[in-house]
Chains A and B, each alone.
Chain A
C-alpha cells in the first residue's frame, strides 16, 4: 500500500527547483535595488488613479502572480459614478 503510493506519485524535487528558480529570480531583482517591476507598476498605477479620484482602499483589490516567463498584475478598482465631485 505504502510502496504503491511511493511509486505512483510524481517526484516533487523538480517542482521545488522550478518554484525556487522563479521566486529567487524575482527576489534577486528586487534586492538589487531596482524594486521589482510589478511592485513599481502597482504603486504608480495607484498613484495615477488617486490624482483623479479619492481612492477608497476597501474598493481596491490588487492581485499579482509572478511567473517564469510572464507575470500578471490585476488592479481592480470600483470607480464611483460621481467621480468628478470627489476629485481630490
Chain B
C-alpha cells in the first residue's frame, strides 16, 4: 500500500506545485512508483510545471464522474518512467470534486503506487480540504515571511482536525518545507530565521529550498527542478528532503550558512 502525501500551505505562490513536482520526480528518480495529483480544479498548473500540458486527455473530474477510467487519465512522464501525473480539470466547477469520488480515486491510486502526492490548491476551501483528507503525511510549504507562516499555522490546524487520520484520533505526520529561502537577505537580518519559523509552527523540518533561478528555469522548460538540473542547489535540497521523508536522519543545512569543521558534525537535527 502506497503512502499519501498532501503538499499544502494555505497561502498561494509559496511553491506547492513546484515542490509537488520536484519531490514526486525525486522519489521516482530513485525508482519508486509515484503519481502526482493536481487538486486545483479550474486553475491547474502542475501539468505545465511538469511539461505535460499538451498531453492532457482526461482529468481528475472525468474520472470521478465516470467519464474515463483512472488508467486513461494518468499521464506517464516522458523522462522518468515511474512518474505519473493525474491532471486537474481546467473547465469544470470545483463542485464536481466530490468527497466520495476523491476517496475512491485515492484508494485506487494507493494500491498501484508507492507514493500518491496531492498538490493542494491555495486557500482553505473544499479543494484544499479534499486534497488533505486522505493523507498519511502532510508537507506544509512555507516561505520565511509573516503571512505565509500565519497561513501555514491555519493549515496545520486543519490537518489536525479535518483529515481522516485526525478524525480517527490518530497522529497526523506533518513536515515543514521552507521554500524561497534567501541566504543574502537572511544574512542582512531581513528575513525570518529558520529557527523562528520552526519555533512558531513547531513541526519538524523536512528541508530548506533556496530561492533560485534554477526553479524558474525548470518551470520555463516544463521540467521538475530535480530533473532539469540535478546538481543545482534547489535540486540537491529536494533530493535531501526526499531522503528525510524516507526516514533517513540527514541533518538539514541552512543554505549559505558558513559552517566550520565542528558544525558539519553537529549540524541541525533533522525531522
- Chain A: CB-nearest residue to B228: A12
**A interface: dominant SS:** helix
Q: B57 an interface residue at 8 Å Cβ cutoff?
A: yes
The number of inter-chain residue pairs (CB within 8 angstroms) is 48
Q: Which of B51-87 contact A (CB under 8 A)?
A: 51, 53-58, 68-69, 71-72
Q: A15 an interface residue at 8 Å Cβ cutoff?
A: yes
- Chain B: CB-nearest residue to A12: B220
- Chain B: CB-nearest residue to A67: B54
Interchain CB contact under 8 A, A23 and B72: no
Whole-angstrom CA separation of A42 from B205 in the bound complex: 46
Interchain CB contact under 8 A, B72 and A19: no
Interface residue from B48, B55, B90 paired with A63 (Cβ < 8 Å): B55
Q: B221 an interface residue at 8 Å Cβ cutoff?
A: yes
Q: A69 an interface residue at 8 Å Cβ cutoff?
A: no
Interface residue from A12, A60, A64 paired with B56 (Cβ < 8 Å): A64
- A19-B222, A58-B71 known; A42-B54 Cβ under 8 A: no
Number of chain A interface residues as a range:
20 to 34
Interface residue from A15, A22, A27 paired with B220 (Cβ < 8 Å): A15
- Chain B: CB-nearest residue to A15: B221
Interchain CB contact under 8 A, B57 and A64: yes
Q: Total interface residues on B, using CB and 8 Å?
A: 21
Interchain CB contact under 8 A, A19 and B71: no
Interface residue from A23, A30, A57 paired with B69 (Cβ < 8 Å): A57
Q: B168 an interface residue at 8 Å Cβ cutoff?
A: no
- A60-B72, A62-B72 known; A13-B57 Cβ under 8 A: no
Interface centre among A16, A22, A42, A58 (most CB of B within 10 A): A16
Whole-angstrom CA separation of A64 from B219 in the bound complex: 22
Interface residue from B55, B72, B217, B229 paired with A57 (Cβ < 8 Å): B72
Interchain CB contact under 8 A, B57 and A63: yes
Interface residue from B48, B217, B219 paired with A23 (Cβ < 8 Å): B48
A3 to chain B, nearest CB (A): 13
B221 to chain A, nearest CB (A): 5
A78 to chain B, nearest CB (A): 13
- Chain A: CB-nearest residue to B222: A19
- Chain B: CB-nearest residue to A71: B54
Residues of A within 8 A of B (CB): 5, 9, 12-13, 15-16, 19, 22-23, 26-27, 30-31, 42, 57-58, 60-67
Q: List 8 A-B contacts (CB under 8 A).
A: A9-B217, A12-B216, A15-B221, A16-B221, A22-B54, A58-B69, A62-B57, A62-B72
Residues of B within 8 A of A (CB): 48, 51, 53-58, 68-69, 71-72, 90-91, 216-217, 219-222, 229
